[in-house]
A = this chain, B = another copy of it.
Amino acid sequence: MDTLEINSRMKSLPHWDLIDVSGMPEIQRVYKLKDFREALNFTDQVGELAEKEQHHPTILTEWGKATVTWWTHTARGLTPDDFNLAAQCDSVYESKSYLQK
């Protein structure tokens, strides 16, 4: 996926940042949450989504926030899967389904 396509897809993910990790592009969003419990529940739901799709992010779980990062190891960069999964994470966040557990 070239820079032009990446920039185009980033426009549909206004809360995500394009970051450079040792020369490799990745996308990252920090989700604000109420406390550790909410961050843990959200992590669990993003993790279950990743398992279902068999495409996996890194998730940093902290008190009051969760940071999700997507990239595709085999492509050494970004693929449409990364952007699709990022959008699905936003849907989980907006649905507030992580409030129930």
Contacts and interface: CB of A to CB of B under 8 A. Distances in A.
Chain B CB within 10 A, most for which of A50, A60, A61: A61
Nearest to A65: B58
How many subunits of this chain does the assembly comprise? 2
B51 A44 contact: no
B56 A47 contact: no
A36 B61 contact: no
Contact of A36 (B47, B60, B62, B63): B47
A63 B48 CA distance: 13
Contact of A58 (B48, B56, B62): B62
Contact of A37 (B40, B51, B63): B51
13 contacts: A36-B47, A36-B51, A40-B43, A40-B47, A40-B48, A43-B59, A43-B61, A44-B44, A56-B63, A59-B61, A60-B60, A60-B61, A61-B61
Instruction: Identify the interface centre among A36, A44, A63: most chain B CB within 10 Å of its CB.
Output: A36
